[in-house]
């Protein structure tokens, strides 16, 4: 078993500046599966990086005991660019201040190139097809020539994870219960990951829009299987998802240690680490992402919540109010906010001074909503 720490330099954005990624790589003695974890692609979402810190500590101990079978790669800080964007004392880590783009959108899609490269080589051996596709995936990414620091960051992260059996992008919401985004094509296979994360909601979409990091992997395998059909078997060879570790202020050693232990149990369950796995039962059934209501503020003002996260809401329930602080008549200052579906109160916004039309909460239902079409993820 070996452990390597790698330092990968990014393209310089301006003279005299340079950023880098730190990669922890564990390789076992056996030919086992590979798992890839990264934290804080949205650089202002700290909980995932703290989970990575505790996961690395646990993996160091597992490696010292000789229990690593496959390969585990951990990138605790996936976005040093965003981490440097402090404006007037506030970290701006979700959007690149140069391009104004979301750091977790518009990842390069090389599916067409990969499919063209393997078209004449695929056969009836599914395992061999997986090997061919992974090699072509790596070659297609190697052929990309980034010209900006942000593009180089995205390509580098894809190159690190392209041959993984498991890819987990560790994020958080504003204020939330732990939850998980997965591809529809990865369920129910991903039930063990949902259980390991203690996910209170597992939200499924084949393509949620925006070309986010995790969907580069799930969509590649799904689209290639569709392109070549059942005569040339192509399995969903990568379980990729986005874990939302509660909210931005949920930075706790106790919670992060428990989260890291859940990932260790998952790695044992998947045969990447030796030892018996002790996965808890799943805390939820998966639901379509189209069934999750994103509640928008009907007016601007001060958001006051009347219900707590984790409560079950019925359609029409008043779960919050928005108060107009400049109302002259206080009897008309309050506007009720109601649930548009039956479901679990999963998230709400961090800051309580809200604007009309702003997304302020998510309610996880089970019935797809007519309004939830097209791009399903918010910017």
Q: What is the 3-state secondary structure (H, E, C) of 220-262?
A: HHHHHHHHHCCCCCCCCCCEEEEEEEEECCCCCHHHHHHHHHH
Based on the domain organization, do 212 and 340 belong to the same domain? Answer: no
pLDDT beyond 90 at 1? no
Predicted confidence (pLDDT) at residue 109 exceeds the cutoff of 80: yes
| pLDDT, tens digit (0-9, with 9 covering 90-100), for 116-161 | 999 999 999 999 999 999 999 999 999 999 999 999 999 999 999 9
In the three-class reduction of DSSP (H, G, I as helix; E, B as strand; rest coil), residue 27 is classed as strand
Could you tell me the pTM of the whole model?
Answer: 0.97
Whole-number average pLDDT of the chain: 97
- For residue 376, is it within any domain? no
Instruction: Determine, yes or no, domain membership for 318.
Output: yes
Do 149 and 297 belong together in one domain? no
My answer on whether 156 and 206 are in the same domain is: yes
CA distance 14 to 1: 39
DSSP-derived 3-state class of residue 292: strand
- Which CA distances in Å does 343 have to 314, 317, 364? 7, 11, 5
> For residue 198, how many other CB atoms are within 10 A of its CB?
19
Report the pLDDT value the prediction gives residue 204, as an integer from 0 to 100.
Answer: 98
- Are 235 and 267 found together in one domain? yes
Q: Which residue reads 């591809």 in tokens?
A: 183
Residue 330 lies in a domain: yes
Q: Are strands 2-9 and 20-27 parallel, antiparallel or unpaired?
A: antiparallel
- Point out the domain boundary residue: 284, 300, 328: 284
Question: In the prediction, which pLDDT does 379 show?
Answer: 80
Contact between 204 and 286 (Cβ < 8 Å): yes
> Residue 32: pLDDT above 80?
yes
pLDDT tier, 378 (very low <50, low <70, confident <90, very high otherwise):
confident
Strands 34-39 and 71-75: parallel
- The confidence score (pLDDT) of residue 117 equals 98
pLDDT in tens, 311-347: 999 999 999 999 999 999 999 999 999 999 999 999 9
Q: Are residues 271 and 303 in the same domain?
A: no
**CA atoms of 112 and 143, how far apart (whole Å):** 14
How does 152-177 read in b/e, with b if 16+ C-beta sit within 10 Å?
Answer: bbbbbbbebbbbbbbbbbbbbbbbbb
Summarize the confidence of residues 271-276 as an average pLDDT.
95
**30, pLDDT greater than 90:** no
Q: What residue spans of 15-79 are helical by DSSP H? A: 47-64
205 belongs to a structural domain = yes
Give me the residue label for tokens 């976005």. 79
Last residue of a domain, one of 284, 313, 341: 284
User: Do 170 and 301 sit in the same domain of this protein?
Assistant: no
325 inside domain: yes
* 233 in the same domain as 326: no
Nearest CA to 41 out of 245, 229, 193 is that of 245
Which CATH number characterizes residue 307's domain?
A: 2.40.50.100
Burial 350-378, CB ≥16 within 10 A → b, else e:
eeeebeeeebbbbbbbeeebeebeeebbe
Instruction: Residue 34: give the domain boundaries.
Output: 2-284
φ/ψ bin of 344: left (φ > 0), alpha (ψ from -120 to 50), beta (otherwise): beta
Residue 20 bridge partners (DSSP): 9
Structurally, the chain folds into a number of domains equal to: 2
What CATH number is attached to the domain comprising 82?
3.40.630.10
User: Tens digits of per-residue pLDDT, 49-104?
Assistant: 999 999 999 999 999 999 999 999 999 999 999 999 999 999 999 999 999 999 99
Question: What is the tens place of the pLDDT at every residue in 233-255?
Answer: 999 999 999 999 999 999 999 99
| Same-domain status, 252 and 319 | no
Q: What is the pLDDT of residue 271?
A: 95
Same-domain status, 119 and 211: yes
Is residue 155 in a domain?
yes
Residue 177: pLDDT band with limits 50, 70, 90: very high
Q: How far is CA 13 from each of CA 149, 220, 341, rounded to the nearest angstrom?
A: 6, 30, 46
264 and 322 inside one domain: no
Q: What is the pLDDT of residues 181-237, one digit of tens each?
A: 999 999 999 999 999 999 999 999 999 998 999 999 999 999 999 999 999 999 999
- Mean pLDDT over 352-364 rounds to 98
239-247 and 292-296 strand pairing? unpaired
Q: Are 188 and 239 in contact (CB under 8 A)?
A: no
Section 34-44 average pLDDT: 98
> 293, 316, 299: which is closest to 376 by C-alpha?
293
Q: Domain boundary residue among 261, 284, 307?
A: 284
Residues 348-362 have a mean pLDDT of 98
Q: Are residues 147 and 93 in the same domain?
A: yes
Q: What is the pLDDT of residue 118?
A: 98
- Alpha-helical segments (H) within the chain: 47-64, 80-83, 111-118, 126-143, 149-161, 191-197, 213-228, 253-269
* Inside any domain, residue 92: yes
DSSP tally for the chain: helices H, then strands E: 8, 20
- Rounded CA-CA distance 264/61 in Å is 11
Rounded Cα gap, residues 242 and 231, in angstroms: 31
Of the pLDDT bands very low, low, confident and very high (cuts 50, 70, 90), residue 303 is very high
Supply the pLDDT for residue 143: 98
Q: Do both 299 and 271 map to the same domain?
A: no
């Amino acid at each position: 078993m070996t452990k390597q720490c790698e330092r990968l330099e990014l393209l310089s954005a301006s003279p005299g500046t340079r950023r880098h990624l730190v990669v922890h790589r564990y390789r076992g003695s056996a030919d086992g599966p590979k798992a890839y974890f990264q934290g804080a692609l949205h650089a202002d979402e700290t909980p995932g990086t703290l989970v990575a810190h505790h996961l690395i500590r646990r993996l160091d101990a597992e490696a010292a005991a000789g229990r690593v079978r496959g390969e585990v790669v951990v990138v605790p800080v996936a976005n040093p660019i965003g981490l440097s964007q402090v404006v007037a004392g506030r970290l701006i880590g979700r959007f690149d201040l140069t391009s104004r783009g979301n750091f977790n959108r518009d990842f390069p899609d090389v599916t067409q190139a990969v499919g063209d490269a393997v078209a004449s080589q695929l056969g009836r051996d599914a395992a061999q097809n997986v090997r061919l596709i992974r090699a072509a995936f790596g070659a297609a990414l190697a052929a990309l020539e980034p010209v900006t620091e942000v593009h180089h960051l995205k390509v580098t992260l894809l190159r690190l994870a392209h041959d993984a059996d498991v890819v987990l992008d560790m994020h958080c919401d504003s204020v939330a219960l732990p939850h998980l985004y997965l591809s529809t094509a990865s369920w129910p296979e991903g039930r063990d990951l949902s259980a390991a994360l203690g996910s209170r909601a597992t939200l499924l979409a084949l393509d949620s829009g925006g070309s986010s990091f995790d969907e580069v992997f799930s969509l590649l395998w799904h689209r290639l299987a569709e392109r070549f059909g059942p005569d040339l078997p192509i399995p969903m060879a990568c379980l990729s998802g986005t874990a939302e570790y509660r909210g931005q202020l949920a930075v706790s050693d106790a919670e992060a240690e428990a989260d890291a232990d859940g990932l260790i149990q998952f790695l044992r369950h998947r045969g990447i680490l030796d030892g018996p796995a002790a996965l808890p039962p799943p805390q939820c059934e998966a639901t379509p992402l189209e069934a999750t209501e994103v509640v928008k503020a009907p007016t601007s003002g001060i958001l006051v919540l009347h219900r707590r996260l984790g409560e079950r809401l019925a359609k029409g329930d008043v779960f919050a109010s928005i108060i107009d602080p400049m109302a002259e008549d206080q009897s008309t200052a309050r506007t009720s906010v109601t649930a548009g579906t039956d479901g679990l109160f999963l998230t709400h916004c961090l800051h309580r001074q809200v604007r009309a039309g702003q997304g302020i909460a998510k309610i996880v239902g089970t019935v797809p909503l007519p309004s939830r079409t097209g791009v399903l993820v918010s910017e």
